[in-house]
Amino acid sequence: MNTNNNINNNKTISVLMFPWLGYGHITPYLELAKKLCTRNFVIYLCSTPATLACIEKKINEKLSQFITLVPLFLPVLPNLPIDFHTTNGLPHHLMPVLKEAFDLSAPNFADILAKIKPDLLIYDFLQPWAPLAAKDQNIPAVEFITSSSTMTSFMFHYFKNPSIEFPFSKIYFRDYESNNKKRLLDCASNPKEKERASLGVNRSCNIVLIKGSRDIEGKYIDYVTSLVGKKFVAVGPLVQQPDPNDQGYDIISWLDKKERRSTVFVSFGSEYFLTKQDIDEIAYGLELSNVNFIWVIRFPKDENGSNGKTLAKTLPLGFLERVGNRGKVVEGWAPQAKILGHVNIGGFVSHCGWNSVLESMNFGVPIIAVPMHLDQPINARLVEEIGVGVEVLRDGNTKIRRGTLSDVIKRVVIEDAGELVRKTAADIKDRLREGGDKETDEVVKELAKLCGKI
């Protein structure tokens, strides 16, 4: 491998990358790997065999010269299905058992490091034990955080200064607490869980990579740098690009026939499952808005691969007939990057997962923010602060309201009142793209310094 003429072998840097399994983690690692490959790096990407099988499909022949896939075998645990996979997202309920399996795989991982002897380890913040294995073998380890800097600085602040509100406007402790009760209870009852967020970072080298751009999150990057005492370096938006293999979807040909900027894309990421109440309110909200839509709905699967839920049984009675050709509902998975990049998309009804936010900005699509949990409420506030979207406020902080959703969709996509949001979203697209290359150059410089290669 690695016979490409662009690479000066004296300065080639070998990196072992170790992402967490979720789709929203794998994608940025792979996009970072692609960028590093064009700048004298060779990459070893370590994950479970099932995950690597999904990644392999996304790596073309040219890239496979620079990226070697390295399987990590997890211990067999009673509650861990053998065939969990990441093609259409990681089942959220498996998180605890997967974390346990990964923690127990530390000796296997140490063997992999010893065999490959990379110049550098880049690991996910959900695997805080990984830098210990690297330290034992004198390999520098850099943490790569795939959340927003806004969320990351908020979390460090929250645990460090629990009695002082976050010093940036419009982001309050209650935004996080009301949506993460279970997680906070876990932290209170299990100090290990609380430590998890900061353990890895404390064990890593003096720089931390973070997904995003200084242009949109500069003040949060500076704040987290000051809180943690390590330099946070933005790696750029690293959004997944439309996959040419996705052409077969009939929704794209349906979308081709709509008018420019006339249609909203509605999706809640790869992990969250909508409740029946969410589905009702969203359906009626879309119906009331009179705006075209593509809506992707995922159902949780049981051991047999299905739990008996179907679109026909779940959507409000007569909904599909009433909206007719104005809307498309897709079960399972849709080619999000391809859809957001389509000129006929005029808005994105999104849960504000960080990948989705950056993808929307990357394609200049304004966001109708419907955050559900985790970091999403914080990201939604950032979307409003930057001016690229509008949050759909809930009734008493609990329920999405169809009328509010419909009003925000109309404002963002068609009404004069949404002109500024549409323009800001269109402008940010160019700014993000211009900044991306500079950010990659900065990352390369920092990593090369760490490995003593410049």
Please report whether residue 240 would count as binding ligand UDX according to CB under 6 A. Answer: yes
Contact letters (x/-) for ligand UDX, 174-203, by CB under 6 A?
Answer: ------------------------------
Give least dist CB 233 to ligand UDX, A.
19
Please report whether residue 24 would count as binding ligand UDX according to CB under 6 A. Answer: yes
Residue closer to ligand UDX by CB (options 218, 332) is 332
User: Computed from CA positions of residues 165, 153, 269, 430, in that sequence, does the dihedral angle turn out positive or negative?
Assistant: positive
CA distance 423 to 365: 10
Mark the segment that binds ligand UDX (CB under 6 A) among 6-14, 16-24, 132-140, 408-416: 16-24
How far lies 17's CA from each of 118, 206, 316, in Å? 10, 18, 45
3-state secondary structure of 332: coil
Contact letters (x/-) for ligand UDX, 375-414, by CB under 6 A?
Answer: xx--------------------------------------
Query: Of the candidates 205, 79, 214, 174, which has an alpha carbon nearest to the alpha carbon of residue 377?
Result: 174
Residue closer to ligand UDX by CB (options 356, 440) is 356
DSSP 401: -
Which residues fall within 8 angstroms of residue 155, CB to CB, at 6 or more apart?
A: 197
Q: What is the DSSP string of 226-280?
A: HHHSSEEEE-B--PPPPPGGGGG-HHHHHHHTSPTT-EEEEE-TTT----HHHHH
Binding test (CB under 6 A) with ligand UDX, winner from 269, 285, 366, 436: 269
Give least dist CB 291 to ligand UDX, A.
20
Contact letters (x/-) for ligand UDX, 312-341, by CB under 6 A?
Answer: ---------------------xx-xx----
Query: Of the candidates 208, 237, 249, which has an alpha carbon nearest to the alpha carbon of residue 335?
Result: 249
Torsion of CA 228, 205, 145, 152, to 10 degrees: 0
How far lies 189's CA from each of 126, 156, 183, 200, in Å? 19, 19, 10, 20
Length of the chain: 454
Give the interface size with ligand UDX as a residue count (CB under 6 A).
25
Please report whether residue 236 would count as binding ligand UDX according to CB under 6 A. Answer: no
Residue closer to ligand UDX by CB (options 199, 296) is 296
Residue closer to ligand UDX by CB (options 120, 374) is 374
Structure tokens at 364: 């200049």
Residue closer to ligand UDX by CB (options 139, 197) is 197
How far lies 222's CA from each of 20, 149, 270, 273, 447, in Å? 25, 9, 30, 34, 19
Give least dist CB 356 to ligand UDX, A.
3
Binding test (CB under 6 A) with ligand UDX, winner from 272, 293, 295, 319: 272
Interaction with ligand UDX in 51-90: which residues (CB under 6 A)? 89
Please report whether residue 354 would count as binding ligand UDX according to CB under 6 A. Answer: yes
Residue 124 appears among annotated catalytic residues = yes
Cβ-contact 410, 291 below 8 angstroms: yes
Please report whether residue 22 would count as binding ligand UDX according to CB under 6 A. Answer: yes
Torsion of CA 239, 242, 245, 248, to 10 degrees: 130
Mark the segment that binds ligand UDX (CB under 6 A) among 58-66, 100-108, 132-140, 373-381: 373-381
* Catalytic, out of 119, 124, 215, 375: 124
Please report whether residue 213 would count as binding ligand UDX according to CB under 6 A. Answer: no
Residues that bind ligand UDX (CB under 6 A): 22-24, 27, 89, 147, 240, 267, 269-272, 296, 333-334, 336-337, 353-356, 359, 374-376
Instruction: Tell me the catalytic residues.
Output: 25, 124
